[in-house]
Structure 1
């Protein structure tokens, strides 16, 4: 069931094909009830001329049709609501798949506001512009076809005039469609930028408060809102211009058909009641045309939204099977702008213990992120088991490694879930990890122990406890390589030495560790110390 050529969205349609067909059928039935009611209006005027009995019978018929029409429209709206709920859930899943597929880009750019906009703004946009118009298209097509059939039944001359006006009414939407697409693309980008600006400003509000710069916060929020509203205004004006053009053609077509009907009736070709039906049916026909053309224009404008969720087809040859045996950098260059961080760097990492040392800005974290696939080398290659990391399926790669960074993020979940992250391990193993990471006293002091809820990224928890939780996360996962970026920096010297000993004692696990606080005893336990 391919609709309008958008393969991405058609997957959601196909997955929910039964409810989609049901929604379209009920919209079509609702449209048919409108046309039948409109056609029956001729019986009112004809019944009026025929006498009170005929008029009363016609009136009861029309009233019954109106109530039936109301019932069918209600059922149609209910089925459509079920359909919208299901396809929206599939859209959000698709967005999540895209976020997972492009995690390295997200980690590199830290542009979470853009992704938030996908879940909030884009889902609403796709609902209003695509999925709703799929049902609306079925409604409009049914309305057009049945209204034209009813017009033919009234008189063939009406049908000829309606056909000519119908063809004319198709021209305007075809001419203005591209302007709607361009405006939609600009609006989508502006929504992402606005969401990112709001996120950035809200995260900076504490810094600005203590710097007595809340006026600057207000200025940034105002500038972001004004830019967003400017793009929204431009989009709305484009839509208003196109809708005005289509409304003019619609109104002119209805008026033209009515004038023609009055002329035909004055010549005696049709009964006077036909003019009343033509008035209603011409509204059905040309409103259906306008609705369909507008729906097609809006549907075709969603491609700039869905193009962002590209998911590459995984090449089975690039999936990492088994474990990670080695990571090698060959002649690697990396620059930040014009500043060279790495130049012709070569090193092979096996399942040993490595310390990365150097001044701030010397390239320690950059080197680690190159090995993780978060950053891409400007020159040379980074290989994992002799597979170029650029070609590697990163999801299969990340299954075999853990990364502990300095800035630990805690979910709005329990302590237990923050450690397990959905993993299912025996309770005794979890308790052993808690003891190893010296979290046992901290957990014992909490009101609900491991089941204590954390909120607001654990602002009530110290940085040291956050780092312990991050280390516990890494130990839950059986990995081949462990990357540690200043993950013990907020621990006191005794606890830092204890945690580093635990990590360095891991068997058959490659450990790459960055720290500014290596003591002589700890350094002696590494297999290699790399000075950056």
Structure 2
């Protein structure tokens, strides 16, 4: 164990594995029985040669054969039970770790997640976790049981012949040598292999997501070659990793291969001298390879542990991410939204520069500006996807950071242009397992005009929308997303280009329906018809509020707002 725990990361992994011993009870019950049944074999072999064959007492042979077959059958049965439970434990750990991983991701800030590629996160969840789970599921049983095996098997060999046992024991230090000499390279290539594998998955995901664009630009070969480069990088590292592990394995096999010759040579000499019987030599020879099995397993498992530490590090990195911070004040309603000297940057690039803005309860406000003016960033601060670097975003005079986060987000809902739809039915996408009445559901779909197209679908509200809502048009997806928000009766509804795919007549109907609701509505849009539905227009430029007023007032001023409208009309 000292060899195993010398590496701090291995030591940490072993401690982490202890939390899953609750799944390993049956392993620790049946595995020791398996060991004790297994060590009966050399005694039976010795008895066969010395008491049956040497004495020509063949009347005992049938009973002996039946007993031997029975013991071997019991041994294999116990092996099935032990190995099945190790496999079952690994699956349960994979389940627990993947669920825990997802929960951690969902609790992490958007800002932190944005720094991780989707492919890398998928790789950690679907590749790294199962690999880590296989190690964790067996690490403690393998270490404990194989150490017990070493003691038991060593004791049996000494009992048979201490002289021959010394020959076998003399080869054991070479096992540790073979592992330690390649230790650094093993860790290096194991870490690189996981990183390159993650890059392959991310590259593949990107090409699948961009298939339509690739076809449209006739760049099939170009992107296939780019993917080929990533796979070759992984292949190069993976081959080196396999070379190191195989070298260790074959060196161990070499030591194991020469030992029988040494034992038989020296053992034959001891038989001729009369020091041991032929039955003892045959029994010892039959059993001597058993002593190498726990050594081989421990040596191989040390390799697996070294390989698992980079994987463990990648999983631990996610679990060590900061979580979104929540306040304690209960969010109840909205009287006034206020931005006070709010500043925010992406990668040290200022996006919002001292924003000051007030929005009253039940007011309809349109946020307009040129691309990059900070419109979307401004509204992402409301449900606290991000927190301002300076200044305060306040509702009812309280900084948003003081509110219970989940309560805040249930009442401040943002609908984006391409809001995500899950591969479920339209009804499920809207309700999302919440307890809404049929009346509430019907009211929400009517407000969002989902009922206008539902008859065209084969299964109505039970129609599966496909991956990311691929079976629906842009406008249909947007209406489902609006219904999903409206049914939750938010106090603040933010529509970020949320009707861009909807025809003008349907959009007009949706906004007329929304006006009847008791909620504050914030609109981001490039459509003049949409902007004109607002009570007030706020114009952003370079992260600052430069104009405010009604559509008519701002047109008369002839400044930034008018220029934006003119550029859109010309476009």
TM range (shorter): 0.7 to 0.9
Equivalent of 2:276 in 258, 267, 270: 270
Equivalent of 1:423 in 421, 431, 434: 434
SS in structure 1 of the partner of residue 182 of structure 2 = helix
8 A contact 2:384–2:400 mirrored in 1: no
8 A contact 1:32–1:143 mirrored in 2: no
The alpha-carbon distance between structure 1 residues 315 and 522, as it changes in their structure 2 partners (threshold 3 A), is closer
Shift of 1:244: 3.0
Shift of 1:168: 5.1
Counterparts of residues 509-528 of structure 1 (less than 5 Å): 509-519=519-529, 522=532, 524-526=534-536
How far apart in 1 are the matches of 2:150 and 2:62?
30
The alpha-carbon distance between structure 1 residues 5 and 452, as it changes in their structure 2 partners (threshold 3 A), is same
Is 2:479 the partner of 1:468?
Answer: yes
Is 2:36 the partner of 1:49?
Answer: no
Equivalent of 2:316 in 303, 307, 320: 307
Aligned residue number for residue 108 of structure 2 = 102
Aligned residue number for residue 37 of structure 1 = 41
How far apart in 2 are the matches of 1:266 and 1:396?
87
How far apart in 1 are the matches of 2:328 and 2:168?
60
How far apart in 2 are the matches of 1:11 and 1:399?
39
The alpha-carbon distance between structure 1 residues 516 and 427, as it changes in their structure 2 partners (threshold 3 A), is same
The alpha-carbon distance between structure 1 residues 50 and 346, as it changes in their structure 2 partners (threshold 3 A), is farther
Equivalent of 2:418 in 400, 407, 417: 407
How far apart in 2 are the matches of 1:521 and 1:442?
25
Corresponding pairs, count: 523
The alpha-carbon distance between structure 1 residues 112 and 392, as it changes in their structure 2 partners (threshold 3 A), is farther
Aligned residue number for residue 435 of structure 1 = 446
Equivalent of 1:10 in 4, 9, 17: 17
How far apart in 2 are the matches of 1:530 and 1:402?
22
Aligned residue number for residue 492 of structure 1 = 503
Shift of 1:520: 8.2
8 A contact 2:367–2:525 mirrored in 1: yes
8 A contact 1:101–1:395 mirrored in 2: no
State which drifts further: 366-375 or 408-417: 366-375
How far apart in 1 are the matches of 2:98 and 2:530?
51
How far apart in 2 are the matches of 1:431 and 1:358?
36
8 A contact 1:27–1:136 mirrored in 2: no
8 A contact 1:41–1:62 mirrored in 2: no
SS in structure 2 of the partner of residue 425 of structure 1 = coil
Shift of 1:79: 2.8
How far apart in 1 are the matches of 2:238 and 2:527?
52
8 A contact 1:162–1:257 mirrored in 2: yes
The alpha-carbon distance between structure 1 residues 425 and 110, as it changes in their structure 2 partners (threshold 3 A), is farther
Shift of 1:44: 2.9
SS in structure 2 of the partner of residue 276 of structure 1 = helix
How far apart in 1 are the matches of 2:255 and 2:314?
30
The alpha-carbon distance between structure 1 residues 388 and 176, as it changes in their structure 2 partners (threshold 3 A), is farther
The alpha-carbon distance between structure 1 residues 237 and 530, as it changes in their structure 2 partners (threshold 3 A), is same
Q: How much is the aligned-residue C-alpha RMSD, in angstroms?
A: 3.5
Q: Which runs of 5+ in 1 are unaligned?
A: none
Report Cα offsets for 1:317-361 as digits up to 9, x if no partner: 745643586564545142457x54333444466755432210112
Is 2:538 the partner of 1:529?
Answer: yes
SS in structure 1 of the partner of residue 522 of structure 2 = strand
Aligned residue number for residue 204 of structure 1 = 210
8 A contact 1:28–1:138 mirrored in 2: no
Shift of 1:437: 1.0
Q: Which runs of 5+ in 2 are unaligned?
A: 542-571
How far apart in 2 are the matches of 1:286 and 1:330?
72
User: Structure 2 length as normaliser, TM-score?
Assistant: 0.80
The alpha-carbon distance between structure 1 residues 346 and 163, as it changes in their structure 2 partners (threshold 3 A), is farther
The alpha-carbon distance between structure 1 residues 443 and 198, as it changes in their structure 2 partners (threshold 3 A), is same
State which drifts further: 463-472 or 127-136: 127-136
The alpha-carbon distance between structure 1 residues 314 and 109, as it changes in their structure 2 partners (threshold 3 A), is closer
Report Cα offsets for 1:484-522 as digits up to 9, x if no partner: 211111122232233334445542x44432111144874
How far apart in 2 are the matches of 1:249 and 1:504?
83
How far apart in 1 are the matches of 2:120 and 2:163?
56
Is 2:343 the partner of 1:332?
Answer: yes
Shift of 1:93: 0.9
State which drifts further: 416-425 or 129-138: 129-138
8 A contact 1:24–1:134 mirrored in 2: no
Counterparts of residues 236-251 of structure 1 (less than 5 Å): 236-251=242-257
Aligned residue number for residue 228 of structure 1 = 234
Report Cα offsets for 1:67-89 as digits up to 9, x if no partner: 22222222223333432332221
8 A contact 1:254–1:279 mirrored in 2: yes
Is 2:84 the partner of 1:73?
Answer: no
Aligned residue number for residue 114 of structure 1 = 120
The alpha-carbon distance between structure 1 residues 457 and 361, as it changes in their structure 2 partners (threshold 3 A), is same
8 A contact 1:497–1:522 mirrored in 2: no
Aligned residue number for residue 123 of structure 1 = 129
How far apart in 2 are the matches of 1:383 and 1:474?
22
Counterparts of residues 347-386 of structure 1 (less than 5 Å): 347=357, 351=361, 353-375=364-386, 379-381=389-391
Equivalent of 1:479 in 468, 472, 490: 490
Aligned residue number for residue 155 of structure 1 = 161
8 A contact 2:444–2:483 mirrored in 1: yes
Q: Which has the larger radius of gyration?
A: 2
